[in-house]
């Protein structure tokens, strides 16, 4: 059967038209797929750019295919990453997971120190929806504050345990002496005073712990009662005379214009703050040293100072003096290390 040339031409044109439209449709579908893919990539990039966690991905051949801005900021760039402990850990993890058919989920967080930061890192093997291995993923987070907090908690537990042990040992020892004297013997007044003084120390420590708790809870209340700052300074000194005497120090109080130092404030809180500063001065001043408490007013500003002839603060410790529970390493002029008791709150609590 033969078609007329005109009919053959029409069929050919129609077939060509169908093929062209089919190609155009395929192109449109492909374009839509590419646009959807591009949109997904843009959304993913937007997410990676805004999250606080650093994200890094390596393909199965060990090439770095992804590093978001947070990761760059945490690590200092690609080169710094490969030279760091994290880079070595990343490669080791990839080598281990490459011999397994299983997809390994996020590992337990690992902490490493990079650029004076503590970085928490979790690694995982990554696969597509069909289970095909794509590479290795690492998620990074700056946990410096958490690490510092953990360290401070450990130091606090050690310090409070040490602080509690001394008065408790005294109370136990004195109590045993009194009990051994028998029922007919009246307790020695000096022993009872020692007992009472150490109970007061424990009570003061408990009050300070409660105050610290209030500071953390942001509900620290301050009274505004009439008070005389000179009386406050002397009251603080008198309450700490046993410690001052035991340390072999002398102390004086200097004020300018007592009338100008009659103000409204919280007597208990101010005594607490000045007491911390004075106690810190006692602990870091060698026997035979001198302490001076001063108060003066200039316009609307009142300055309270605790001056001592102690060992001072080293340049290394200076940036940390307001950190809670931080205890610096103090040495005398001849290099002797001073190991004072305390929780490391001598400056942090008064500052708050």
Q: Strands (DSSP E) along the chain, which ranges?
A: 54-59, 64-67, 110-114, 117-127, 133-142, 225-228, 250-255, 262-265, 290-298, 301-308, 330-331, 337-338
User: Whole-prediction pTM value?
Assistant: 0.47
When pLDDT is averaged across residues 96-117 and rounded to a whole number, the result is: 62
> pLDDT for 162-179, tens place per residue?
777 778 888 888 888 877
Tell me which of 150-154, 248-252, 297-301, 304-308 is least confident.
Answer: 150-154
Cα dihedral value 321, 323, 326, 327, nearest 10: 10
**Mind listing the domains of the chain with CATH numbers?**
52-142 (3.30.450.20), 144-221 (1.10.287.130), 223-352 (3.30.565.10)
Q: Is residue 340 very low, low, confident or very high in pLDDT (cuts 50, 70, 90)?
A: low
> pLDDT for 221-233, tens place per residue?
778 889 898 899 9
> pLDDT for 5-62, tens place per residue?
555 555 555 556 656 666 667 777 777 777 777 777 677 777 777 788 888 888 877 7
User: What is the per-residue DSSP string for 154-177?
Assistant: HHHHHHHHHHHHHHHHHHHHHHHH
Question: The tokens 């007013």 sit on which residue?
Answer: 297
Return d(Cα 341, Cα 210) in angstroms, integer.
Answer: 20
Q: What is the model's pLDDT at position 21?
A: 65
Question: The tokens 């374009």 sit on which residue?
Answer: 31
């Amino acid at each position: 059967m033969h078609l007329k040339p005109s009919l053959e031409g029409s069929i050919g044109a129609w077939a060509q038209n169908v093929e062209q439209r089919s190609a155009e449709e395929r192109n449109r579908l492909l374009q839509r797929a590419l646009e959807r893919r591009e949109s997904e990539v843009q959304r993913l990039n937007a997410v990676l750019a805004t999250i606080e966690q650093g994200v890094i991905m390596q393909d199965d051949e060990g090439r770095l295919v992804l590093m978001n801005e947070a990761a760059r900021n945490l690590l200092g760039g690609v080169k710094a990453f490969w030279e760091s402990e994290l880079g070595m850990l990343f490669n080791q993890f990839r080598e281990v997971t490459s011999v397994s058919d299983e997809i390994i989920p996020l590992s337990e967080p690992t902490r490493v120190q990079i650029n004076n930061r503590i970085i928490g890192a979790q690694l995982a093997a990554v696969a597509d929806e069909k289970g095909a291995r794509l590479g290795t993923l690492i998620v990074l987070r700056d946990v410096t504050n958490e690490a510092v907090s953990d360290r401070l908690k450990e130091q606090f537990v050690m310090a409070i345990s040490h602080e509690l042990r001394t008065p408790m040992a005294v109370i136990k020892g004195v109590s045993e002496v009194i009990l051994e004297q028998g029922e007919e013997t009246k307790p020695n007044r000096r022993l009872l005073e020692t007992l009472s003084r150490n109970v007061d120390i424990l009570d003061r420590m408990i009050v300070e712990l409660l105050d610290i708790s209030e500071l953390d809870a942001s509900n620290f209340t301050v009274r505004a009662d009439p008070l005389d700052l000179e009386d406050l300074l002397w009251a603080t000194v008198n309450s700490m005379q046993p410690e001052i005497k035991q340390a072999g120090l002398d102390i004086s109080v200097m004020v300018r214009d007592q009338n100008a130092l009659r103000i409204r404030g919280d007597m208990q809180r101010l005594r607490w703050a000045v007491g911390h500063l004075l106690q810190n001065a006692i602990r870091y001043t060698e026997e035979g040293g001198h302490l001076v408490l001063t108060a003066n007013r200039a316009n609307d500003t009142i300055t309270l100072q605790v001056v001592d002839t102690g060992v001072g603060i080293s340049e290394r410790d200076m940036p940390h003096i307001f950190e809670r529970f931080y205890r610096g390493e103090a040495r005398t002029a001849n290099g002797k290390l001073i190991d004072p008791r305390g929780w490391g709150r001598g400056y942090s609590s008064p500052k708050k």
